[in-house]
Amino acid sequence: MIQYIATFFSQYGAVQFLRHAKKAGLKCKLTPVPRALSSSCGTCSRYAGSSWDPGFPLQDLEAVYEVAEDGYRLVYTEEDSR
């Protein structure tokens, strides 16, 4: 499984992500955003999966990063959905 970090524009979006993840059986936890990344609300979701897309509605999602040995790799931004 690949480790991911999702950042959000609001606390509401982070909490909704956690709620959907639990319903989908996805192990997920909310933590402060790492200093190397920036986020509007300061809260991120850490989760593992075979894809960055967890398969449920994403509200207020700012970006998703893959956790790599040498840091973080951006895999999705809100701009990709436009």
pLDDT, one tens digit per residue, over 29-68 is: 999 999 888 767 889 999 998 899 888 878 789 999 999 9
Q: How many structural domains are present in the chain?
A: 1
- Which amino acid is it at 69? E
pLDDT score for 82:
53
Residue 45 lies in a domain: yes
Residue 20 lies in a domain: yes
pLDDT score for 75:
94
| Stated pTM of the model | 0.88
pLDDT score for 80:
64
pLDDT score for 40:
74
Instruction: For residue 65, give every residue at least 6 positions away whose Cβ sits within 8 Å of its Cβ, in sequence order, or none.
Output: 4, 5, 6, 7, 37, 72, 73, 74, 75
The residue with tokens 């967890």 is 54
Range of the domain at 49: 2-71
Residue 77 lies in a domain: no
Q: What is the CATH number of the domain that holds 11?
A: 3.30.70
